[in-house]
Amino acid sequence: MKVDCLESTLEKSLQAKFPSDLKVSILLDFTRGSRGRKNSRTMLLPLLQKFPEQVRVSLFHTPNLRGLLRLFIPERFNETIGLQHIKVYLFDNSVILSGANLSDSYFTNRQDRYVFLQDCADVADFFTELVEAVGDVSLQLQGDDTVQVVDGMVHPYKGDRAAYCKAANERVMGVINSARARQQQLHAQTFHGDPLLTQDAAAAGDRRPAPDTWIYPLVQMKPFEIQIDEIVTETLLTEAERGARVYLTTGYFNLTQAYMDLVLGTRAEYQILLASPEVNGFFGAKGVAGAIPAAYVHIERQFYSEVCGLGQQERVQLQEYWRRGWTFHAKGLWLYLAGSSLPCLTLIGSPNFGYRSVHRDLEAQIAIVTESRALQQQLHQGWP
């Protein structure tokens, strides 16, 4: 159905009286998008064949899946080596950031989180450039169902791994550094009253009030030595003071050792929400996958044993989400400063705070920092 919508919109753009520059760029993971006989790749091929000038389908292939490893690890299990896991949906100047995929269950009976940033050109530009950058270091799907690398790019699993990762780092960091420079300029203008910047804004007729909300994109791509999200998350957990509250949720409880140590070793109160075994997406699956919910329960029990061993069960509380007929996939963090009943910050996006999110996958989320009481109330109500 979603592919049909894209096809219909592309058809209308070609039939419009005025020339349209509509482009559709889709970034998927190679292994996940190619799994099985009917998959995302086969669904998108007709679109690519019909609108070759307007549609781009990029398939990211982790550089860590290569050689004999790539040859012998079966489908589905090869995804554990590393994925393109970013979930961002862009429409002109509007952005939806989420941890959700676009498969049917997410629109029917799967609990997840979404944030819609309407007419937010700066954030839309950043994520457009990020998707294009990752697309450029990915394999390009062709109309005959083959794939090709972009001209001049190192092949992700046939080429030299170090050379590929270096090229990918330079391409993605170019986007990040450019956005960082723009945001630093805006910070200087807003908070430090840079006279030159202020005069320029006034001359341009810019008399907008000082913003009460800031959005910071956070990217994690450890294979390319990009660790921004990890650093920010660790900093938030480290700096959370006594009396502050941190709400944390993940569909797959497998916090990194560093995150667990910070939760156990800091003074803030923690409320951690995770999926009960019955609402884990792998519950009832055939074969080895069916044992995954039990593995997460084992990790949860180990962690809670540590909490109890330290006498911290009042400060660190664990809860399991359960809803009949539903699965749970929501992830994120909410920060409540000491003495406040509403959060001033939330993280929302694709990371699960686990080993794969930090070390293997490509992830992105945003930190929303706000003084707006109305928005703080909405963020508070967004706790599942």
Higher pLDDT, 233 or 208: 233
Please determine, for residue 80, whether its predicted confidence score (pLDDT) is greater than 80. Answer: yes
DSSP state string for 215-232: EEEEEEEGGGTEEHHHHH
Nearest to 318 by CA among 384, 352, 272, 279: 272
Is the pLDDT reported for residue 239 higher than 80?
Answer: yes
Q: Predicted confidence band at 206 (pLDDT cuts at 50, 70, 90)?
A: low
State residue 78's pLDDT score.
92
Catalytic annotation present for 2: no
Over 90: is that where the pLDDT of 283 sits?
no
With CA atoms as reference, report the closest residue to 172 among 133, 136, 140: 133
pLDDT band at 195 (very low <50, low <70, confident <90, very high): low
Q: 29, 61, 85, 329: which one is catalytic?
A: 85
pLDDT at 200: 56
114-117 vs 139-141, strand pairing mode: unpaired
**Which of these, 281, 320, 282, lies nearest to 300 by C-alpha position?**
320
Quick check: 201 pLDDT over 70? no
- Mean residue pLDDT of the chain comes to 92
Are 128 and 90 in contact by the 8 Å Cβ rule? The answer is: yes
- Tell me the per-residue pLDDT of 1-25, one tens digit each, with 9 for 90 and over: 578 899 999 998 888 777 778 999 9
Which among 211, 230, 232, 209 is positioned nearest to 221, based on CA atoms?
A: 230
Query: Above 80 in pLDDT, residue 30?
Result: yes
Backbone dihedral angles phi then psi of residue 206, each to the nearest 5 degrees: -90, 105
Radius of gyration of the chain (CA): 22
- 92 a catalytic residue: yes
Q: Does residue 193 register a pLDDT over 90?
A: no
271-281 pLDDT per residue, tens: 999 999 888 87
Share of the chain above pLDDT 70, in %: 96
- Taking only the tens place, the pLDDT of each residue in 87-144 is 999 999 999 999 999 988 999 999 999 999 999 999 999 999 999 999 999 999 999 9
pLDDT at 75 over 80: yes
- Has residue 203 got a pLDDT over 70? no
- Per-residue pLDDT band at 186 (split at 50, 70, 90): confident
- Please tell me which residue in 17, 21, 38, 92 is annotated as part of the active site: 92
Domains of the chain: 3-177 (3.30.870), 214-382 (3.30.870.10)
Q: Which of 61, 87, 222, 331 does the annotation list as catalytic?
A: 87
pLDDT greater than 70 at residue 325: yes
pTM for the whole thing? Answer: 0.92
85 is catalytic: yes
How, if at all, do strands 24-29 and 55-60 pair?
parallel
